[in-house]
Amino acid sequence: MMAENYQLVEKQPGRPLAMHPQKFALWLFIVTVMMIFAAMTSAHIVRQADGNWLEYEMPQMLIVSTVIIVVSSIFLHWGYISAKRDNLGNLKIAMTLSVITGLAFFGTQYTAWGQLVDAGVYFVGNPAGSFMYVITGLHGLHLVSGVIYLIYILISSLRYKVHSKNMLNMEMCTTYWHFLGGLWIYLYIFLLLNH
């Protein structure tokens, strides 16, 4: 009797993955990035507690950066909804606006670094400045990959390759871009409270 039950269990087909392998890889990457920034912000707090910490005003341009990345996420979500509904005209507009606002984010970050330099906050010298540049620069580096993905989706949408029957890359791009936006909001609030 027990041998028969064992054979029944053995003959059942394996459960398929509940998530597409590319989506799973993306989520693994997102978790890795979260761990990197958790370590960076933890190191920031520990080093700040040691003393000899330069206090400075946060660049006003970072507020503009935050607004731009939120608006960019809204445009991308509009594109995602448009693709699901096969509204390809709106999809192209939304993706174009997402790319433009994604690139504008870089411009505001560059301007913010200029404001830091004008305020006497440099990469080398006091650790407060070093952490500011490393954290914002590392986020910017990840954002480069996000903008490249946005451009890829824009080109695909112009070629009519993004629609309700082909949503994998659109879904992954939307997930990654929203993550980067949420990460920036976390980093901005963290830096605002701990600079």
Instruction: Tell me how far the alpha carbon of residue 179 is from its chain's centroid.
Output: 4
> For the domain that residue 182 is a member of, what is the CATH number?
1.20.120.80
Nearest Cα to Cα of residue 190 among 137, 132, 121, 146? 132
> Collapsing DSSP states into helix, strand and coil, what is residue 51?
coil
20 within some domain: no
Q: How many angstroms separate the CA atoms of 81 and 110, rounded?
A: 32
Q: For the segment 23-77, what is each residue's pLDDT rounded down to a tens digit?
A: 999 999 999 999 999 999 999 999 988 888 888 889 999 999 999 999 999 999 9
Q: Which two tokens stand for residue 92?
A: 């192209």
Report the alpha-carbon angle 11-13-18, nearest 5: 155
Residue 43 forms part of a structural domain? no
What residues make up the domain containing 82? Answer: 57-193
Highest mean pLDDT among 51-60, 120-129, 153-162: 153-162
Instruction: In whole angstroms, give the CA distance from residue 60 to residue 58.
Output: 6
**Segment 103-111 mean pLDDT:** 95
- Strand extents, DSSP E, 7-66: none
* 140 lies in some domain: yes
Tens digits of per-residue pLDDT, 62-101? 999 999 999 999 999 999 999 999 999 999 999 999 999 9
- Distance CA(164)–CA(179), nearest Å, equals 22
Other residues' Cβ atoms within 10 Å of the Cβ of residue 166: 12
- Count structural domains, the chain: 1
| Total-model pTM | 0.86
37, part of any domain: no
